[in-house]
A and B are shown apart, each in its own frame.
Chain A
Amino acid sequence: MKKLVVASLLALPMFAQTSNAVVDRLLDRIVEREKVFLDAAKKRTPVIETYIQESPNAAPADERPTKDHYFLGRFRLGESLIYETLIERSDAPPQKGRQKSRPMMFLPRGFAQMAVIDLQDFNRQTYSFEYVRREFLGEVRCLVFDVQPRNRTQAGKFVGRIWVEDHDNSIVRFNGTYVDAPAQKGTTPERYFHFDSWRVNVGAAMWVPAQIYVEEEGAAGEGGKAGAPRFKAQTRIWDYAATPSNKLDELTGILIDGGSAVKDQEASKDVSPLESQRSWERQAEENLLARLEKGGLVAPPGPVDDVLNTVVNNLIVSANLNVEAHCRVMLTTPIETFSIGHTIVISRGLIDVLPDEASLAMVLADELSHIALGHRTPTQFAFNNQTMLSDADLLQKFHFQRTPDEMASAGKKTIEIMKASPYQKTANAGLFLKEMASRGSALPRLLQANLGNQFANADALNRLAAFAASAPALEENRIEQIAALPLGSRVKVNPWNNQAVLVKTRPISLLSAREKMPFEITPFALYLTRIEPVPAETAHTGQ
């Protein structure tokens, strides 16, 4: 049996035999907690999104991605891992008979597997543990262990490091890889990647997988065979227990009790044909948003919406638009926006990469223009059966792209709205458009909308050319010029209830232009905190 070195425990004045017993109990507890987690996870089918950026093997100094892949699905951890594909945007599968030049394919199921250390055999008979040190991850004090299978050739077993929080001994992070299967002639082996898997606290002693970072250096191919790609990937998991916000309908009104001294012409209650039409459109909007929220695609109303609504209100007031508009956050990474009725939906990925408030205003103004111009939402969604779809069908059926004519007229209106707005310093907004145009061909899957309008296509850039024209030339090597931020720069999502909040980071000055990383994937370093259990809301007595 491998010797356990538990420095902090051995520092106490106790006999070695006693300390071994303490360590044994601790390791048993870690294994037990992981079992409890796996049992709880069987009841959940969270959404999982993986976005991959490949860089060329040939030029190791240049990390700029040249290719990307995107997967969206749901998974369940049972006896085995069950993965359901919702969206798959990657290279086409290779044709049979051309095995030698077969490029490596990414399997979205493989990224889901990195949410757990070992589904079946995470126990002390299979793995040895070696204590490393204590460490804080954010506010959470952790015990750190190196873990490896006792049989080091057993394929699929985890080898790496685990961080265990010190209250309940739940695993909160693990970092390493799985043991590769030996290569067999005539077959293409499945390769395991290196990953850094983080869990977050979502309730009393409940830590769930939330974010996984994967990185591989790549290798050149030999003997005419394709090599391994050099890539980085971010996997995000959410929608463990989200329930659609239970919107409580409200009735408010004013009655004036003045007898014959007041004549209230507004007292009539019948609904005019125009009001009926508006109500019908509103019903379609509410049905669509409720279904998108239920499907884990749109966050429930929250603090990020408030920030977005402030910007939209500034635009409405300054341009004297007689419209009402609200914002919601789509939880996925691809850069997109769309509007449904009076609601503007903007993707988390787009909010993440926007360099400043003026750029955000430009993006929101583009959708606000559709609302101001009265571009309609399909009203067939007012029929409730139209939104009774599976998540996969929903992504097939829900499309909110505008027609080229609508896009063109909205482009003109956007420029009008922005001219009247308080957001006059639009140089960064223009630079953002230029950066997107520059990266567009390398990152098509990041720029491909799931449901709405592709913000970054040639048409969009032509429509908003006035902003690009007002911006200085794009200088990628100039450290002061920030045209777009890395992914994950602004919004974080609670994986349990899908609530989106703005990240609070310290401003850090860049050391080189390489650190700008526009639209790029970076490792995760979560500031872990514990969540106090929220007391159940006092039941309404109706009195």
Chain B
Amino acid sequence: MTASARLTPVEIISKPKPAYTAEGRAKKLEGEVVLEVQFTAAGDARVLRMVRGLGAGLDETAVAAAQGIRFRPATRDGETVDSTAVVHILFQLAN
């Protein structure tokens, strides 16, 4: 039997500001796009699947925003490892 592994979480350094699309603005679409994202050991944010979408081009900008998240990968016993999280991309208008 081995001692329990020492884990450090993913550290988010910066997140881009998601852009509204002209179509989304015109249709006054609001809500959130929910994505399952893998923060890889190599430092890439990979979108595994879309849990919930909004349409009007906002899904695409949400994916682009998620991929633009900068982070330090999680570690297990000092080694970088993949880690998965649910990412909510919020879109709201001042109606």
Contact = CB atoms under 8 A, between A and B. Distances in A.
A263 B15 CA distance: 13
Contacts of A264: 12
A404 interface: no
Interface in B14-53: 14-20, 25-26, 28, 39
Contacts of B10: 258, 261-263
Interface of B is mostly: strand
A261 B16 CA distance: 20
A253 interface: yes
A267 to B, nearest CB: 8
Contact of B83 (A249, A251, A254, A262): A262
Contacts of B16: 254
Interface string A252-280: 11111110111111100000000000000
A250 interface: yes
B15 to A, nearest CB: 5
B9 A540 contact: no
A543 to B, nearest CB: 10
Contact of A254 (B9, B28, B66, B95): B66
Contact of A250 (B11, B20, B39, B65): B20
A428 B47 CA distance: 48
A248 interface: yes
A542 interface: yes
Interface size class of A (residues with CB under 8 A): 20 to 34
Interface size class of B (residues with CB under 8 A): 20 to 34
Given A261-B74, A261-B85, A262-B85, A256 B90 contact: no
A252 B86 contact: no
Contacts, number: 86
A254 B18 contact: yes
Nearest to B69: A254
B87 A252 contact: no
Given A250-B94, A260-B9, A265-B13, A255 B88 contact: yes
A274 to B, nearest CB: 16
B5 to A, nearest CB: 13
Given A248-B25, A252-B20, A254-B69, A265 B90 contact: no
A254 B70 CA distance: 12
Interface in A179-199: none
Contacts of A256: 12, 69, 85-88
A249 B74 contact: no
Contacts of B94: 248-251
Nearest to B66: A254
Contacts of B65: 254
A540 B25 CA distance: 11
Interface string B52-95: 00000000000001100100001000000001111111111111
Given A252-B92, A253-B17, A263 B9 contact: yes
Candidate in A252, A265, A537 with the most chain B CB atoms within 10 angstroms:
A252
Contacts of B25: 248, 250
Contacts of A540: 28, 95
A256 B93 CA distance: 21
Given A252-B17, A265-B13, A540-B28, A258 B88 contact: no
Interface string A236-255: 00000000000011111111
B1 to A, nearest CB: 24
Contacts of A250: 20, 25, 91-94
A382 B28 CA distance: 28
Contacts of B17: 252-253
Interface string A289-308: 00000000000000000000
Contacts of A260: 9
Contacts of A257: 85-88
Given A248-B25, A252-B92, A254-B66, A261 B83 contact: yes
Given A261-B9, A264-B12, A266-B15, A254 B87 contact: yes
A258 B74 CA distance: 12
A209 B85 CA distance: 61
Nearest to B83: A261
A264 B88 CA distance: 13
Contacts of A542: 95
A253 B14 CA distance: 12
A258 B94 CA distance: 28
Given A249-B93, A256-B12, 13 more contacts: A248-B93, A248-B95, A251-B92, A252-B17, A253-B15, A253-B90, A254-B69, A258-B85, A262-B9, A262-B83, A263-B12, A266-B14, A266-B15
5 contacts: A252-B20, A253-B18, A257-B85, A258-B9, A262-B83
